[in-house]
Structures are given as C-alpha cells and as structure tokens.
Amino acid sequence: MGGVPVSEALRRLSEDPMFWSLLLAGSGAPLQDKELRASLPVTAGYGLALDVDLSTGEQALGLREPATSEPVQLGWSAPGRPQPAALRWHELDLFARVIALEDPTLPHPGLVVALLSPFAPVTADDDSSAVAAIREAAYRSLRRDVLPPAPAGPEQAPLPLFATEDWWPAPASESPQVLDEATIAAYAVPAPVHLEVRTGSRFPRQGLAELVRRAADRLSRQREERCYADARPLTEHIAATGDLRPLPELLGTLTEAGCDHPTVLDALSEPLEPIEACWMVETLAGAVPGTLLRHHI
C-alpha cells in the first residue's frame, strides 16, 4: 500500500453537509475555508486533483502526471452551469477502487465517487441503475464520529412511579450519517451528459488513457498477491452466481491466509454493505466491474 491520499482537511469537510450542498447543489452558505485542493494519487505517479472554491462553489478537476508540477485541467464547473463530462463512469469507478485499495483508512471507494461523480455523467453505454446504486452507496458511506449522548436520569434511584421514560426520556443521539436519506436520494440520481469536453484539442487524452491503463493493471495485480490464492475459487464462484451467502467463509479463508489489508477485510465484514462487498469480490475474482453488482440492484 502506498501513502494516504486523503488529506485531513478533506476528511473534515466531508463530514459537513454544507460542503456537499455547495459541491453538488451549488447552494448553501460559503464555508469558512477559502479553497480546497483534494489531491487523489491513483498509481505510478498518476492521479487526480480537485480544486474547489469554497466561497463560490467553482470546481476544477485536473490530471496529475509524473514529474509535473501542476495538474492539467480535465474539466471546470460552477453552480448553475452544466457539469463537464470529463470522466467516463467506468474510469471514475476504476480510479475510486484503486484509491481505496491504496488508502487503508478508506473503507471503500465511496468518498472518491461522491467527490467526482458530477464530472462523470451517465452515457448511453452506462447502466444507469447500477450507477445510481453506487452513487447512493457512496453518499451513504459518508460518516462522522458521534459522541454518545450524555447520560440522563436521576442521581439516585427514583420511586417506581417516577422511573419510566416519561419522566426520564433518553436524550436524542446524533446520526453518524452525514447526509439524510432524502438528500442522498436527490444526489444519487445521475445526470446525463450536457457538456462534452473530451473532444477539445487541449484535453489530455493520452495522459488520461495512460492513467486508465495503469490503474486497471494495479487493480488486476491485487488478486495475484499470495494471501488471496486460496480464496480465488470462492471469489470466482460468488462473482459468477451472485450469491453473497459464502462471504463469511471468504472472510475466514482470507484471514487464515494472512490477509491483513484493512480495506479488503472491512468490505467483507459485518455490518455488510452489498455494494461494498461486490466491488471487493469482483476485484479478487478478476471479474469485470459491475458483474456481481448487477445481481443486487
């Protein structure tokens, strides 16, 4: 595994609903910080960079190549303007999977998908139902640490008549989920292509193609590591049948083989998120992304 690509500033902002309102809906009050650069290394010196003006909501997505000081712009957007189709959905999905594998603090690709989905609108070649399901899971994966509510109740045992919840109601606890279900449902709907930017003469097509090639190679190498060899027949069976019931057996097989990759183990552990488990099984089985997911949407 490489270094941790997600900065503390981005983690802090990702726990603020107002950040997502600004980023995805172009609404809400400006945030205290002025600018954010989310640097997202993918592999072999290639990566993505998202610059966000936190006062205006303007965003610029760039491609970072080895030995370059600044990223080359892939697309730019602002509130009220159509989002540029800078990435194809399969590219974003691929990059997010690799970033999650490289960053042991990310439970799955959710944060990257949530950040960059507006730059990857659906095309006629995409399965819009699958895209919507992955986006929904991505926004639902945004979590924050919540302190337990302060204990409520009498300092000493009251008389039985006064010991019920009517007299001592439990304090409300804050949800660890950053976005509520209604907001998630609104953000999860993928938009069609309104602004195609990939045909422009300044679009870095060759650099992006090289990043896709290297990211696909990195993802395919994951399953070749020794600790996954014993689990390969089981992952291939799950991917082929769509049956997630053997996941506990798969988790046990990986653990016994010495797998200690936190992202891999988290994706297959309880509480189980089917989409999270699907992407990991697909990776370990060498299956085309989406193969297993189609059984569960």
pLDDT by 10s per residue, the chain, length 297: 344 456 788 888 999 999 999 888 877 666 766 888 899 999 999 999 999 999 888 999 999 999 888 999 999 998 888 889 999 999 999 999 999 998 877 767 889 999 999 999 999 999 999 999 999 999 998 988 877 766 666 667 776 766 677 776 766 677 889 999 999 999 999 888 889 999 999 999 999 999 999 999 999 999 999 999 999 999 999 999 999 999 999 999 999 999 999 889 999 999 888 888 999 999 999 998 888 988 877
Check residue 260 and report its DSSP letter.
-
pLDDT at site 3: 41
pLDDT at residue 6, rounded to an integer: 64
DSSP state, residue 161: G
Residue 49 contacts residue 71 (beta carbons within 8 Å) = yes
Instruction: List residues bridging with 51 in a β-sheet.
Output: 37, 60
DSSP state of 5: -
Q: How many CB atoms lie within 10 A of CB 149?
A: 11
Q: Which residue is it, tokens 């709907």?
A: 189
* pTM of the predicted model as reported, rounded to 2 decimal places: 0.87
Domain positions in the chain: 8-143+182-209, 223-296
pLDDT of 42: 93
15, 142 contact by CB (below 8 A): yes
35: number of Cβ within 10 Å: 10
pLDDT the model gives residue 1: 39
